[in-house]
């Protein structure tokens, strides 16, 4: 089977030698990973990683909780990175109302600017959404015309009802280790409810380990087979069928992933 991790963070020095990690991934059949940027520095790191390793692709963008680092001219630098042949999307971007000092107007402003950039470049967006379900739904509906190149809500955690609503806008949804726990009822209900053509696999490494690795750090893209098997079980299909579907979905969304 061919697996893909559409959202992981490989910076931070948590993994030892990355060459060793990628060799293990190849043995497992995890053929492609998308290293996600969350600010300028991590986007540049992910770019360098993609340059070095064949199966690595990347995203470039500013995460909503990292905006204190954002400076005039940074969006132009993100645009330059996004021009690279292996930059598959603008991300991760979005809204996050988890912290008490959240600057909601600034988050919405920079989120909107990055949606504009992605639309201009003809790239999809990878969206982070936490504790903001109503605002996110409204924002995406208001900006639906800017999502023509596709959108992914990564590590989806809102309700199945919202997912079904956003699915109508062409949004994709990825699920990681948290979906393997029996207590993750919303994620599991969402996986069961969505069209198969909208589902992707991720790890959000080094965070959110699956059930078999509960309490361990770092999580790695080596968790993808377990996450895929869990999704297949929830949907009542074989892992082989689900793996083919996810592989196809990823390439439909991220056109710059190359050969299928």
Mean pLDDT of 247-255: 98
CB neighbours of 68 closer than 8 A, spacing ≥ 6?
none
Whether residue 64 is predicted with pLDDT greater than 70 in this model: the reply is yes
Whether residue 130 is predicted with pLDDT greater than 70 in this model: the reply is yes
CB 227 within 8 A of CB 179: yes
Please give the pLDDT value at position 17: 86
Whether residue 89 is predicted with pLDDT greater than 70 in this model: the reply is yes
Element containing residue 57 per DSSP (H, E) = strand 56-60
Mean pLDDT of 103-117: 97
Distance CA 65, CA 54 (A): 30
Q: Percentage of the chain surpassing pLDDT 70? A: 100
Whether residue 122 is predicted with pLDDT greater than 80 in this model: the reply is yes
If one compares 258 and 99, the residue with the highest pLDDT of the two is 99
Q: How confident is the model at residue 260 (pLDDT cuts 50, 70, 90)?
A: low
pLDDT tens, residue by residue, 132-151: 999 999 999 999 999 999 99
Whether residue 259 is predicted with pLDDT greater than 80 in this model: the reply is no
Q: What is the DSSP string of 86-130?
A: TEEEEEEEEEE--STT--HHHHHHHHHHHHHHHHHHT--EEEEEE
152 torsion bin: left (phi>0), alpha (psi -120 to 50), beta (else): beta
Mean pLDDT of 103-125: 97
Please give the pLDDT value at position 258: 83
Q: What's the whole-number average pLDDT of the chain?
A: 96
Distance CA 189, CA 199 (A): 13
For tokens 């599991």, name the residue.
Answer: 188
CB neighbours of 77 closer than 8 A, spacing ≥ 6?
40
pLDDT tens, residue by residue, 154-192: 999 999 999 999 999 999 999 999 999 999 999 999 999
Mean pLDDT of 65-72: 94
CB neighbours of 155 closer than 8 A, spacing ≥ 6?
7, 128, 174, 175, 176, 178, 202, 204, 208
Torsion of CA 185, 189, 191, 194, to 10 degrees: -150
pTM here? 0.97
pLDDT tens, residue by residue, 42-60: 999 999 999 999 999 999 9
For tokens 């600057």, name the residue.
Answer: 103
Please give the pLDDT value at position 12: 84
Mean pLDDT of 234-244: 98
């Amino acid at each position: 089977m061919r697996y893909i991790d559409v959202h992981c963070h490989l910076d931070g020095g948590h993994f030892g030698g990355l060459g060793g990690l990628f060799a293990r991934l190849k043995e497992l059949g995890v053929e492609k990973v998308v290293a996600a940027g969350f600010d300028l520095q991590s986007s540049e790191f992910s770019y360098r990683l993609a340059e070095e390793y064949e199966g690595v692709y990347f995203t470039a963008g500013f995460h909503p909780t990292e905006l204190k680092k954002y400076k005039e001219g940074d969006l132009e630098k993100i645009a330059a990175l996004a021009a690279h042949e292996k930059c598959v999307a603008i991300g991760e971007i979005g809204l996050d109302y988890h912290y008490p000092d959240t600057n909601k107007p600034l988050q919405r402003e920079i989120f909107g600017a990055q949606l504009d950039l992605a639309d201009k470049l003809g790239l999809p967006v990878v969206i982070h959404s936490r504790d903001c379900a109503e605002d996110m739904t409204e924002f995406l509906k208001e900006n639906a015309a800017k999502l023509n190149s596709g959108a992914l809500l990564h590590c989806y955690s809102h309700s199945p009802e919202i997912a079904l609503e956003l699915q109508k806008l062409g949004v994709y949804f990825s699920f990681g280790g948290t979906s393997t726990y029996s207590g993750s009822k919303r994620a599991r209900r969402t996986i069961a409810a969505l069209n198969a053509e909208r589902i992707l696999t991720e790890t959000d490494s080094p965070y959110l380990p699956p059930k078999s690795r509960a309490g361990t750090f770092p999580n790695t893209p080596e968790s993808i087979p377990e996450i895929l098997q869990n999704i297949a079980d929830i949907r009542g299909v074989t892992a082989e069928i689900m793996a083919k579907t996810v592989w196809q979905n990823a390439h439909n969304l991220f056109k710059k992933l190359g050969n299928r």
